[in-house]
Structure 1
Amino acid sequence: MSAAEQLQERYTYADYAKWPEGEHWELIDGVAYAMAAPSRQHQDVVLELGSQILQHLRGKPCRPYVAPFDVRLPRQQEADDKVDTTVQPDIAVICDRSKLDDKGCRGAPDWIIEVVSPSSAIMDMEKKRKLYERHGVKAYWIVHPTDRWLMVYTLGEDGKYGQFQLFGLDEPATVGLFPELSIDWAFLNDDQG
């Protein structure tokens, strides 16, 4: 998502739902951002993380979803057609199943993971971090597989993320929301080319 690809008009989910299926967009506060096609490495990381999370959550109330999966983030209780923020996180974990419908998720997921690519780094680290904090996403992970680091934001009791924690991807990462889940990054060593 490049700022140069940002459109100038204001849009809502009603507009978004009419756009061609082959194009991938996100809306943040009514502004449309084109999403770049992910790299092979990006998809490998998303698939592996999603698989590890799915295996752990099997039979539990929480469920992971991978992009493309629409997450509508209403400001109040406005109808879907009026919602001006719809994102497609790489991975979204939703524990409140009442937020799920045939369109995706309406409301904040409990945990969002974005895998950084060159075109999305600033968007993921700034705009989306502020957006997810504002909407109450309990845990936000930003994974940089090339530079092998993980940035973790956890929502505090004050409704703010506070200081992030930075981890290397050389050891398993424990998930705060699910302390018995540990993400194993060894798969990154399997495919170095």
Structure 2
Amino acid sequence: MAFALEKDKHYTYKDYLSWPDDVRCEIIDGVVYMMSPAPLLVHQEVAGEIFRQTANALHGKTCRALVAPLDVRLPRHDETDEETDEVVQPDVMVVCDPGKLDRRGVRGAPDWVVEVLSPSTAGRDHIQKHRLYERHGVREYWLVHPGDRLLTVYRLLDGEFGKPDIFELQGITPVEALPGLEIDWQAVLPYLPSDDLT
């Protein structure tokens, strides 16, 4: 089945729900951003290890670790899902408010979001999603750069992301928004590309 987008149309989650299952995309400010058919293996392994550590740490607690593909609808006010013009699929996230979870995924901002950068989506993760997550109140936003072995961390303060902290992917990094949760990069290192494979 052919899939075509109308030029200059403002899209919503209602449109999104009508599209074929094999169409992978996100909507930010009513603009559709197509996603690649499937991420690279390194992306999946790094995201999977971060999710594994997070899920293990939160087992039996109120906060829930979730992993893509899972829709996160981000209404600006009280609009219905069908009217919402922002829906994304973060690689890894934690949601502490059970009221934000429903059969379709998440409605409202996760507490912590991790995006593992891929060449095709890095610009969107750094720019559009940075603004999106800040606007909706994500408490902490991590960008993992597998090829560069770097981590960029944004934390929400007074409704805005401050200047980012940048770390090498080594040792242990705590998630400040979720006391007691930390990521051990030693377990991630085997999945990172060597310099000649990035």
- Report if the CA contact (8 A) 2:49-2:188 is conserved: no
Which amino acid counterpart does residue 183 of structure 1 have in structure 2?
A: I
Aligned-partner Cα distance in 2 for 1:6–1:155: 35
Query: Deviation of residue 20 (structure 1)?
Result: 1.1
SS at match of 1:81: coil
Q: 1:170 to 1:61 in 2, by over 3 A?
A: same
- Total equivalences in the alignment: 188
1:20 aligns with 2:3: no
Residue 22 of structure 1 and its aligned partner are, at CA, apart by 1.3
TM-score normalised per structure 1: 0.93
Preserved CA contact (<8 Å) 2:75 2:108: yes
State which drifts further: 32-41 or 6-15. 6-15
Aligned partners of 1:190, 1:129: CA distance in 2, in Å? 28
SS of match in other structure, 2:44 = helix
Note the aligned Cα RMSD (angstroms).
Answer: 1.6
The amino acid across from 2:130 in the alignment is R
Letter of the 1:61 counterpart: T
- Residue type of the alignment partner of 1:10: H
Determine the C-alpha separation between the residues in 2 that align with 1:141 and 1:124.
10
TM-superposed CA distance for 1:8, in Å, is: 3.8
Q: Deviations over 1:92-148 (max 9, x none)?
A: 210001011001111111011000010111101111001100000000000001110
Partner of 2:67: 66
Where in structure 1 do 4 or more consecutive aligned residues deviate above 4 Å? Answer: none
Q: Percent identity?
A: 49
The offset of 1:9, in angstroms, is 2.0
Alignment of 1:174-189 (within 5 A): 174-189=174-189
The one-letter amino acid of 1:146's match is G
Separation in 2, partners of 1:52, 1:96: 20
Judge conservation of contact 1:142–1:152 (CA < 8 Å) in 2. yes
The letter for the 2-side match of 1:185 is W
Residues 31, 148 of structure 1: alpha-carbon distance in 2 compared, 3 angstrom cutoff: same
Amino acid at match of 1:26: E
1:165 match: 165
In structure 2, relative to structure 1, the CA distance for the partners of 1:87 and 1:173 (3 Å cut) is same
Distance in 2 of aligned mates of 1:188 and 1:92 = 17
Aligned-partner residue type, residue 33 of structure 1? Y
TM-score (norm 2): 0.91
Q: Which runs of 5 or more residues in structure 1 are unaligned?
A: none
Q: Does 1:55 align with 2:59?
A: no
The separation in 2 between residues aligned to 1:109 and 1:119, in whole angstroms, is: 24
Aligned pairs for 1:74-153 (under 5 A) are 74-153=75-154
- Answer whether contact 2:67 2:91 (CA < 8 A) is retained: yes
What code does the residue aligned with 1:173 have? T
Gaps of 5+ in 2: none
Does the aligned pair in 2 maintain the 1:7–1:31 contact within 8 Å?
no
Question: Which residue identity does 2:69 align to in structure 1?
Answer: P
Could you say what secondary structure the match of 1:155 adopts? strand
